[in-house]
Structure 1
Amino acid sequence: MPSNYALLLKGKNEPLVVEEVAFPTAEAHRIVVRTRAVAVNQADFFLQMMGQDLFPWLEFPVVLGFDVAGEVVAVGPDVEGFQLGDHVAGLGGSFGGDLNPRGAFQNYVVLDDNMAATIPDAMSYENIVGLPVTVSTAACGLFMPDYLDLQFPQADPSARKQTGKTILVWGGATGVGCAAIQMGVAAGYEVITTCSPKNYEYVQRLGATAAFDYHSSTISDDLKAAFTGKTCAGALAIAGADPVGCKEAIDACIELVANVPGDKAVALAMRPPDSLPDGIRIKFIFCSDIKDNEVGGHIFNTYLPEALSNGSFVPAPKHEVVGSGLEAIEGALEQLKKGVSAKKLVVSI
Structure 2
Amino acid sequence: MSPNQAAWIDTLGQPFRVGPAPMPKPGRGQLVIKNHAVAINPADWKNQDNGYFMKVFPFVLGIDIAGTVESVGEGVTRFKKGQRVISHVQGLRDQDPAQGAFQLYPIAEEVFTSVIPDSMSFEHAVVLPLAISTAATGLYLPKYLGLPSLPSLNPKPTEKTLLVWGGASSVGAAAIQFAFASGLRVIATASPANHEFVKALGASAVFDYRSPSVVEDIVKELEGSDFAGVYDAISKEPSFEPITEILKRLGRQAKVAAVLPRQRPSEGLDPMFVLGYEIATAPNEKMGEAIWARFVPQALASGQLRAKPDPVVVGHGLDEIQHALAVQKAGVSARKIVVTL
> Cα 1:306–1:68, aligned 2, differ >3 Å: closer, same or farther?
same
Q: Which residue of 2 aligns with 1:179?
A: 174
Residues 1:249 and 2:246 are matched in the alignment? no
**How is 1:1-349 mapped onto 2 (pairs within 5 angstroms)?**
3-51=3-51, 54-55=52-53, 57-95=54-92, 100-157=97-154, 160-239=155-234, 246-260=236-250, 264-272=254-262, 274-275=264-265, 280-286=270-276, 287-349=279-341
Unaligned regions of 5+ residues in structure 1, if any? 241-245
Cα distance, 1:224 vs structure 2: 0.7
Q: SS of the residue aligned with 1:235?
A: strand
* Structure 1 counterpart of 2:216, one-letter code: D
Q: SS of the residue aligned with 1:108?
A: coil
Q: SS of the residue aligned with 2:97?
A: coil
Range with bigger deviation, 130-139 or 281-290:
281-290
* Structure 2 counterpart of 1:112, one-letter code: E
Cα distance, 1:65 vs structure 2: 0.5
CA distance in 2, matches of 1:119, 1:217: 42
> Cα 1:154–1:98, aligned 2, differ >3 Å: closer, same or farther?
closer
Residue identity over aligned pairs, in percent, reads 35
Q: SS of the residue aligned with 1:288?
A: coil
Aligned residues: 339
CA distance in 2, matches of 1:150, 1:222: 25
> Cα 1:263–1:113, aligned 2, differ >3 Å: closer, same or farther?
farther
Cα RMSD between the aligned structures? 2.1
Cα distance, 1:99 vs structure 2: 5.5
Q: SS of the residue aligned with 2:106?
A: strand
Cα distance, 1:259 vs structure 2: 4.5
CA distance in 2, matches of 1:127, 1:275: 37
> Cα 1:99–1:237, aligned 2, differ >3 Å: closer, same or farther?
closer
CA distance in 1, matches of 2:10, 2:192: 43
CA distance in 2, matches of 1:310, 1:262: 38
Unaligned regions of 5+ residues in structure 2, if any? none
> Cα 1:332–1:228, aligned 2, differ >3 Å: closer, same or farther?
same
Cα distance, 1:312 vs structure 2: 0.6
CA contact (8 A) 2:244 2:268 kept: no
* Structure 1 counterpart of 2:5, one-letter code: Y
* Structure 2 counterpart of 1:255, one-letter code: E
CA distance in 2, matches of 1:170, 1:279: 15
| TM-superposition CA deviations, 1:181-231 (whole Å, max 9, x none) | 110000111000011111111111111010111111111111110012201
Range with bigger deviation, 274-283 or 305-314:
274-283
CA contact (8 A) 2:13 2:49 kept: yes
> Cα 1:141–1:96, aligned 2, differ >3 Å: closer, same or farther?
closer
> Cα 1:165–1:6, aligned 2, differ >3 Å: closer, same or farther?
same
CA distance in 1, matches of 2:129, 2:331: 21
| TM-superposition CA deviations, 1:7-40 (whole Å, max 9, x none) | 1000011111111111111111111110011111
CA contact (8 A) 1:232 1:257 kept: no
Give the 4+ runs in structure 1 shifted more than 6 A: none
CA distance in 1, matches of 2:253, 2:68: 41
CA distance in 1, matches of 2:94, 2:125: 28
> Cα 1:252–1:295, aligned 2, differ >3 Å: closer, same or farther?
farther
| TM-superposition CA deviations, 1:89-137 (whole Å, max 9, x none) | 0011423787511100111011111101110112110111111111211
* Structure 1 counterpart of 2:319, one-letter code: E
Q: SS of the residue aligned with 1:191?
A: strand
CA distance in 2, matches of 1:263, 1:316: 31
CA contact (8 A) 1:231 1:262 kept: no
Provide the TM-score with structure 1 as the length reference.
Answer: 0.91
Provide the TM-score with structure 2 as the length reference.
Answer: 0.93
CA distance in 1, matches of 2:43, 2:240: 21
* Structure 2 counterpart of 1:128, one-letter code: A
